[in-house]
Structure 1
């Protein structure tokens, strides 16, 4: 089929920007930088004021970036800024326990030394990552960061899209990308339905300072109410992602600091010595939420707008960054071939690339949560037997390590070495 006529129509139309990224979170800002490496002009529409995400002091939020995600940031020129504040994850220890066991009875041990690519991941505080992204976006003359701004309506036409903004203005783009979270307005207005369910669990998120060094080791402790992740930060500090039944989580979240720590300690154990809170505390309900489609006319979805999964494996942001790298590669290859970057067949290449991976991640996290968030004796025997089998098989263990590092599957170029 001759695509010359559609290309000519698109070329003749007047656009305010090539690509509008709706959502100024970590995925949206990273995507803007990835897209603006070439001649494309990108506009980020962010509901928050431009500097709202900057926090001069540690506020308790941090992220476990897989090895492949750190490569993406390095290839975008951000890692020189971040590496001094990042904590490598050199080991992961996994145990199946009960309240009071702590992290002493370890069933699995993964070490970065078993792979050639380096640390399995890096822990980066939100304040450092967000500031690096905002600075890079602000310094790029091919990116227009509109903040605060909100999309209230969208008109997806054959050869372009028009977004209506809350201030009465409008924006015309060749392509729109929804990076606006699980409650994506872009997806809803495009008629994209979501599949999912609540877990009746909530995550309690905080950071602690502790007496003993963590040696770059991440701990995943599976308790009957849900997993407890202890993730190493720079210095004698760790990030905590602690899952409880929603009712109990709300009660714990409302406790004074001393009582909060009193509840955490028997779950946490004493292997890091004395602990105290560092930064703010957060809590949010957990659910599975998958968009039925990753693309619609003139629209692609990335990050939580496309897939929101249980944090049991800490892969939510990593999956979003893989979306970012894959979509940026598909669009750049289409541009080089002279294709319309918002055409349905171009967007379908992205959707096809990411569809299986995101569905597999959602299924795996859902299954692991159901399998491990139980104290039934039969399930405990099954879990423990499985962990012993993995620990005893070097090849299988290596595959788990590479999976945790984000190195399995068809990686986008930006995530390669």
Structure 2
């Protein structure tokens, strides 16, 4: 990455100033760079710490459309050997009869790929380091943001000034850029916490992702590649009531593993905890708007959802594809990246997809959270009906792949 840029009133000038260099922010910078769009990326953390072993044990389900994005920006060679294909998804209410099995037809692509977040970060950072259109500012705190008719300027704690045409908020759910703009949130607390870790297990997972719904919350087992020593491995996302989270986190490894095994009912044989446990409070939040004067929001700064079905990161990557496309189209017509027409097109494009995806995910969480044997029986009858309807299953699989609706060109094969 190149630290030189043309000065504008003493500031370093680029097309975009992206605040937040996480998975979405850095993907945006790299995708934009491939279109000739330059950017500053400002990240508070140290990349070496973000990619250190054991710091982030989370894994993400990358949809087919999101994989197309990574491939189209040159990450296929680095990422292809590291992802575990999701060949099927099993959805069940408390492991009782009446489950749904989503499995592509022979010859169709997998439903997605599972990646350790660390592996995606390493690939993104390595590519960004070689990209002259990206200037990366790490361990950097923003002390002021200014937007005006002629551009945007950001001042860092050390006094360095960065200039651009468009400011992008990619700092995550607690985006100070969004809050400073006064953008409101439609938000509620699920009063649940996701406990995230990884398991080694005796029996193979056969590339099947399991979503097991219990009254207390979903219990997801997501396939990962086998360990170098040949042991089978899965990511675990166990949702527990917020009031129980501290107790679950305080369990000994043996007690925690025993509770997990009880919910798995022995389907993977003996299990072993192989990563630290991390806890994340769960909530719904959707920004009332995602653009302002020379401002755009992407990823969790714009929308945050329950991790059920693993669609949060994929939704953010669709933001990336749409924003880069409208920016590139506008710049070919002679418009600035911060032009209001360009940003309005981005907001309109993303509105329906975001609302639909988040509403469906929230509805599923609420539907499967209704307690009682009657509610469970009704759910299982409904799932058994869906199991017998191939067209409806195909629709759901296309949604999981991220292939429905109007896709940005970067997310197409």
Q: TM-score, normalised by structure 1?
A: 0.93
Partner-residue secondary structure (3-state), 1:244: strand
Deviations 1:335-354 (A, max 9, x none): 11111210111101001000
Deviation of the 1:374 alpha carbon: 2.3
Within the alignment, does 1:148 sit opposite 2:139 as a pair?
Answer: yes
Residue 42 in structure 1 maps to residue 39 in structure 2: yes
Contact 1:179 1:305 in 2 (8 A): yes
- 1:365 paired to 2:361: yes
Q: How many residues align?
A: 401
- Tell me, in whole angstroms, the C-alpha distance in 2 between the residues paired with 1:215 and 1:128: 22
Secondary structure of the residue aligned to 2:289 is coil
Q: What is the CA–CA distance in structure 2 between the aligned matches of 1:267 and 1:25, rounded to whole Å? A: 33
The counterpart of 1:31, out of the listed 21, 28, 31, is 28
Q: Once the two structures are superposed, what CA deviation does each residue of 1:143-193 show, in whole Å capped at 9, x if it has no partner? A: 011001122221111121111222222211100111000110111111111
Deviation of 1:316 (Å): 0.4
1:155 counterpart SS class: strand
* 1:268 corresponding residue in structure 2: 264
Superposition pairs of residues 345-364 of structure 1, within 5 angstroms: 345-364=341-360
The answer for the alignment partner of 2:149 in structure 1 is 158
CA displacement at 1:39 relative to structure 2: 2.5
Residue 233 of structure 2 corresponds to residue 237 of structure 1: yes
CA contact (8 A) 2:186 2:285 kept: yes
Distance 2:107 2:149 in 1: 48
**Any conservation in 2 of the 1:114–1:398 contact (CA below 8 Å)?**
no
Task: Pick the aligned partner of 2:102 from 110, 130, 138.
Answer: 110
Contact 1:49 1:148 in 2 (8 A): yes
Q: How does 1:169-318 map to 2 (within 5 A)?
A: 169-235=160-226, 236-318=232-314
1:177–1:299 CA contact under 8 A, matched in 2: yes
Q: Once the 2 structures are TM-superposed, how far is the Cα of residue 58 of structure 1 from its aligned partner?
A: 8.7
Q: Which runs of 5+ in 2 are unaligned?
A: 1-7, 227-231
Q: Does 1:399 align with 2:391?
A: no
Question: Contact 1:104–1:271 (CA<8 Å) still a contact in 2?
Answer: no
Deviation at 1:379, TM superposition (A): 2.6
Instruction: Provide closer, same or farther for how the CA distance between residues 57 and 155 of structure 1 changes in structure 2, counting only shifts above 3 A.
Output: closer
Q: Which residue of 2 aligns with 1:324?
A: 320
In structure 2, what is the equivalent of residue 5 of structure 1? none
Per-residue CA distance 1:253-286 (angstroms, 9 max, x = gap): 1111111112211112201000001122101110
Give 3-state SS (helix, strand or coil) of 1:366's partner: helix
Contact 1:94 1:106 in 2 (8 A): no
Contact 1:194–1:292 (Cα < 8 Å) also in 2: yes
Distance in 2 between the 1:295 and 1:59 partners?
Answer: 30
| Corresponding residue for residue 129 of structure 1 | 120
Counterpart-to-counterpart distance in 2, 1:187 and 1:88: 35
CA RMSD of aligned residues (A): 1.8
Structure 1 residues 58, 171: closer, same or farther in 2, change over 3 A? closer
Q: TM-score, normalised by structure 2?
A: 0.94
d(CA) in 2 for partners of 1:165 and 1:32?
Answer: 19
Q: Per-residue deviation at 1:362?
A: 1.8
Deviations 1:306-351 (A, max 9, x none): 0000111210000001101111111011111111210111101001
Out of 36, 53, 58, the position equivalent to 1:61 is 58
For 1:255 and 1:347, locate their aligned partners in 2 and report how far apart those are by CA, in whole Å: 48
Q: Deviations over 1:108-162 (max 9, x none)?
A: 001123673x011000112211100000011101101100112222111112111
Going from structure 1 to structure 2, the CA distance change for 1:213 and 1:405 (only over 3 Å counts) comes to same
Instruction: Quote how far apart the aligned CAs of 1:15 are.
Output: 5.8
Using the alignment, how far apart are the partners of 2:311 and 2:120 within structure 1? Answer: 17
In the alignment, the residues of structure 2 paired with residue 57 and residue 377 of structure 1 have an alpha-carbon distance, to the nearest angstrom, of: 40
Asked if the contact 1:199/1:287 (under 8 Å) is kept, the reply is: yes
Deviation of residue 251 (structure 1)?
0.6
Match for residue 75 of structure 1 among 72, 75, 96: 72
Moved more, 267-276 or 149-158: 149-158
**Cα-to-partner distance string for 1:212-243 (whole Å, 9 max, x where unaligned):** 01110000001001111100000110000110
Alpha-carbon distance in 2 for matches of 1:349, 1:12: 30
CA–CA separation in structure 2 for the residues paired with 1:228 and 1:79? 30
- Alpha-carbon separation, structure 2, partners of 1:135 and 1:79: 13
* Residue of structure 1 equivalent to 2:410: 414
